[in-house]
A and B are shown apart, each in its own frame.
Chain A
Amino acid sequence: MSSSILRRIRIVFSTLVFIFFVLVFIDFKSLIPAKYINALMFLQFIPSVLKFYSLKTLAAGSFVIVLLLTLITGRTYCSFLCPLGIGQDLNSRIGGRIKKKFRRYGFKKPFTILRYTILAATLVVTMVWGVYMITLLDPYSIFARSMTYFIKPVIIIINNFLAGILGKFDIYTLSNVPVKGFPLIVYSIPAAFFLLVGALSLTKGRLYCNMFCPVGTFLGLISKISLFRIKFNETACTRCGRCAMRCKSSCIDFLKPDVDLSRCVSCFNCIHTCQDKAISFGLVNFKKKVHETDESKRKVIIGSLLLLFGTSRVSNGQDKTAPKPKKDSTVRENRTCPVCPPGGVSIVDFNKDCIACSLCINVCPNSVLQPAFKQYGIAGIMQPVMDYHKSFCTYNCTKCTDICPTNALHPLLLEAKKLTQIGKANFIKDNCIVKTEKTACGACSEACPTKACHMIPYEGNLVIPEVTEDICIGCGHCEFACPASPYKAIFVDGKAIHAAAKKPVNVQSDIKTPVEFPF
């Protein structure tokens, strides 16, 4: 095909994908059901790989589809499905509007050493230590974080502004949504990448994809042997160089003329721009190309794939023996362990699978999920942690476990979630209003959904809280409600390995249905 219809298809398709992604991440009222979000996340490469690694079932291995797609059509994933890629295209377009210079790309040499070093380092770090490099560099995560940290607050502020105006006219269809900021330091990494990717794409096209992005580099390796690719009709080509100028990946050397397939993201701009109709997208000429393929490189690919899945299983087996929960503490706000969201199973497991994409932070209706700063250690920065000073975990909710794209949070049925003990409440009598002020309070027990925190007789007419630990699920409503300050009189200490809480037992009251008014 040599017409520009391919380009048009790409633009329409990628625009739709991008719009859906943006909608998911600015959906501050959680209007989009989890199944649509899951469908959208289905083909995201890194989340899918991690989900496969965690579940080890083929059903989760949608990344294979991406690999096959790449094998057939080259890096179409980068142009059609990657939200960061599409976002960069959009930004490049904006850049081109601002300055003519920004839309002239031209051929550039590949950053071969840099990109393969990053890919190798990412693979090694992921296999040996965990997902930390992926967390930083995965394009989906970068996009997701940019939306959550920077775009969503702006949308909410606009919403609040409109809600305020409408409220004055007695219309309450929009409601004010309190914006709860994250700890400042946590903004640094998303801000750095937002600016880096933004600046690079504004001025230089797809440079991030071909310099840093491990997914791009990896798919680039595969696309070198792809079946369909950009082809030149050398007799028709007049070497005008228009295609090279329009190539966002700067990968067309028009003098040869040749395309660097490892960098080409199949955007089809070159086909569209070629006036001689010398460029087409078609099946590779086997006789010539098979001869050219480098066997050693294929081995590297296969080897790295094997390494990725083989050794990671081994290392996973080893890590099962890792940290056990420390002793339950009774000392004043002595937090031994952060509270990991339900479905995380254990902090170690969770930290290994979470790429800090912030989707869960986004959908949490109570904003109790906050990006961690140092709770999980520096490697777990930006991963979600329960912050009971901000809010509490809603009893009737499994949103975060429903949408986690990497399966770092395993899906939980509502009944199971209600019995998942992610932490335990600790009562500090010396901080309690009832003891210090000698007045009634009970904010904690009022809030407790299981009545693990209940009131027992104290001095005179007063009652004071007590915690039944085995039915506490660690939702943090007690800690959030406790008015004691600066130290809370009740706080939830996380469990390194989640446990099953007992079901609260309840018996029918002795009070009978009245027949007469008692007054």
Chain B
Amino acid sequence: MLFFKRMRLCYFCLLIYSLQSLRNNKKKSCIFRHLSKNHFINQFIKIMKRRDFLRTSVGGTLAAGAVLKMGGFDKLWSSAPPAAKYDMVAVMGGNPDAMFDLGIQELGGMGTFVQKGQKVLIKPNIGWDVIPDLGANTNPLLVKRIIEHCFKAGAKEVYVFDHTCDNWVNCYSNSGIEKIAKAAGAKVVPANSESYYHEIEIPGGVKLQKAKVHQLLLETDVFINVPVLKDHNSTRMTCCLKNTMGMVWDRGYWHSNNLNQCIADFALYEKKPALNVIDCYNVMVKHGPQGVSKEDIVSMKSQILTTDWVAGDAAAAKMLGVAVEKIEYIPIAHKMGLGNMNLDSLNIKKIKM
């Protein structure tokens, strides 16, 4: 009898819970549409965030306003990255992990970007349900080596996630990243449900003023962007800036509201990558970003490490053999003062292994 009383209680709680969610739900066609949201748990944290938010957004607006007014002063924004020796290090001719070892050494080691006890977010591209050789996702060896360097630099916790395009479970496992990252000690976090995302504001965004970003982007101290260079069917190229689409929930909004402008707008958001590591090992030169078969791949055995993601994208465009101006979001981001697409004015170290 006791058991049944408890069961009844449980059901009653669930019923109330579901009714509550139903009431919040405007689209009544699907009963359980909203139930995945953990309202109760998130409530407290949301309130806390909102407070933080007020502070940062006021500051952010002022800063962004200043940037916009001053226009072309290219490197004004980049106050955060510490004094690395070069703006960009490009390595060619080795395996992804060996190239990273060399590249990060030239930039002064991972300690330049990750301090002891910090939480690090590594954002590779895990968008597609394909094997590593097909180059649609970031090379797992590279992801593994970055994680190892982070821990070596004293990182408290390293997180890896991507909001995938294909089924996320298949993407995580078939890309090889989940297994290798877990083995290296990182936490591989799901990003498949809206409940992981929190709304942020992007002051100064032309088309994109609000976005729902993954909670880990907000909770971590350091963000390392690890895109894979690929051809893209409509923007011509996907790399550093476009990799951020894997951190937001509603990509459809970007697609229907001037994709190129939205990509550049999101780069305005205060949380910028401390380091961008561009995987140019197996480069998908056509049929991107998903690819059809091995014929789409050219082995370039290269890697670009940079603190300036607009510069990173400009360099990547040259690797792909596309004029930088053709990739619309790069000039837009340059004009918005988010980075420097003129590679000639940068201090670039090129290494061949």
Interface residues of A (CB under 8 A from B): 29, 94, 97-98, 153-154, 156-157, 160-161, 163-165, 167-168, 170, 172, 175-184, 187, 365-366, 394-397, 433-434, 437, 439-443, 445-451, 454-455, 461, 463, 481, 483-485, 504, 506-509, 511-514, 517-519
Contact = CB atoms under 8 A, between A and B. Distances in A.
Interface of B: 1, 4, 14, 17-18, 28-33, 35-36, 38, 41-42, 45, 90, 92, 129, 157, 165-167, 169-170, 174, 187-190, 192-196, 232-235, 251-253, 255-261, 285-287, 289-290, 292-293, 295-296, 298-302, 314-315, 318-319, 321, 326, 328, 343, 348, 350
B36 A442 contact: no
Given A509-B298, A517-B302, A175 B129 contact: no
Nearest to A164: B38
A463 B292 CA distance: 19
Given A446-B234, A506-B287, A514 B255 contact: no
B167 A518 contact: no
A157 B165 contact: no
Contact of B234 (A94, A445, A483): A445
Contacts of A396: 129, 170, 174
B interface, over-half SS? mixed
Contacts of A483: 252-253, 255-256
Contact of A183 (B29, B38, B165, B187): B29
A446 B289 contact: yes
Contacts of A175: 190, 192-193
B233 to A, nearest CB: 4
Contacts of B258: 437, 439-440
Given A97-B1, A506-B292, A514-B300, A433 B233 contact: no
A509 B235 CA distance: 19
A484 B286 contact: no
A445 B288 CA distance: 9
A182 B167 contact: no
A455 B234 contact: yes
Contacts of B296: 506, 509
Given A170-B187, A446-B232, A455-B234, A519 B36 contact: no
Contacts of B302: 514, 517
Contact of A513 (B167, B300, B315, B326): B300
Nearest to B190: A175
Contacts of B169: 29, 365
Contacts of A97: 1, 4
Contacts of A178: 36, 192-194
A181 B33 contact: yes
A443 B90 CA distance: 31
Given A157-B18, A157-B35, A439 B129 contact: no
The winner among B36, B194, B290, B326 for most chain A CB atoms within 10 A is: B36
A519 B287 contact: no
A365 B167 contact: yes
Nearest to A395: B129
Nearest to B41: A164
Given A449-B290, A511-B285, 8 more contacts: A177-B192, A179-B32, A397-B170, A439-B257, A439-B261, A509-B285, A509-B286, A518-B318
